[in-house]
Amino acid sequence: MGTRDKIREILGAPHGEVLSGLTMLGVLVYSVSWFAYRGIYGELGLEAKDVGLTYSSILTSAALGIVMLLAASLLVLLAIGLIYGTTEVDPLFPSAPISLQLLYRLGSGIAVLLLLRGGVYIATDVTEPIVDVLPRIRNGLLDTLVHVAAFIVLLLLYLSLIGGAIAVAPRVLGPVARRARNWLSETLPLILVILIAALPFAVIIGPYQLGRQIGEEIREGKTTGLVDSLVIRWLLDVQVERVNIAWLGERGRCNAMPTRDILYLGAADGTTILYDPDTHTVCRTPTSSVQVVSTA
């Protein structure tokens, strides 16, 4: 069965199976988001609710993130189907329910998107010496064009390598692939047990550590890079702004808080949360007592 036929089969699957697959994905993404928030705000001595995040808002941002990721990954899958429409697919789970096959393929599309996103960072790093040699175009339009051009060149090279591998691999690796398939069929149950056992740790520890890393960046006063990755932008509602403030009332315990170049973390229940990265001080002040002006 070709890729396009498989996509048609998935899209034409019973609604119950598709819904169960999406529900599984939703629960997973919500869990990942929740543990990530714990890591982020725990580094600052806060909880997610302190900056206005509730269970419903976390669920909403996760749901919107799922929609965006699914739409983008479906576009990737459709593009693959158009380019390699005659390619036969030998799925790992040919007899699995449509819901699991849907998760497998959508996960593949998301993985491709993350790899492409990583390519942007690689292209930027590769072209950095070029930009350093030409300081006159630093931070200008030409600087951006250089990075974009390098990314396009690397992407074309990457796609060419993939195309070559697809053409050559069946001939070169045919016998190896057959042996690997036989080995996989014998060891797949054990692999699945290990993956299932490791899943709770991946869902809890991975996002929590990522959240701690983001929280550490906030503690150091960084506002760029926090939401500059695909997953963080679409799945986590982390609002960190560099702001100036004007006091409208009593400062309370925020007497030492400067009025310029501090971070706004959010607000909830009439309380605004501010952060001074120079002294690593978190300030809670009544929202009515302070005017916040973004410096962006």
Spans of all domains in the chain? 3-235, 241-294
Percentages of the chain per state (helix, strand, coil), in multiples of 5: 70, 10, 20
- Residue 287 CB contacts under 8 Å (≥ 6 apart), including other chains: 267, 270, 271, 272
Give Cα separations from 265 to 44, 113, 215, 222, 275 (angstroms). Answer: 10, 29, 11, 12, 7
Best mean pLDDT range from 13-22, 50-59, 107-116: 50-59
In angstroms, the CA 12 to CA 85 distance is 18
Mean pLDDT score, 234-244: 81
In angstroms, the CA 25 to CA 65 distance is 11
How would residue 85 be classed by pLDDT, with cut points 50, 70 and 90? very low
In angstroms, the CA 253 to CA 259 distance is 14
The correct answer on CATH 2.30.30 for the domain covering 241-294 is yes
What pLDDT score does 284 carry?
92
Mean pLDDT score, 127-150: 54
Residue 59 has pLDDT above 70, yes or no: yes
Out of 74-78, 110-114, 248-252, 288-292, pick the least confident.
Answer: 110-114
pLDDT tens digits, 189-238: 666 666 666 666 666 677 787 788 888 888 888 776 664 454 555 667 78
Q: Under a CB-based contact definition with an 8 Å cutoff, are residues 235 and 31 in contact? A: no
Residue 72 has pLDDT above 70, yes or no: no
pTM, two decimal places: 0.56
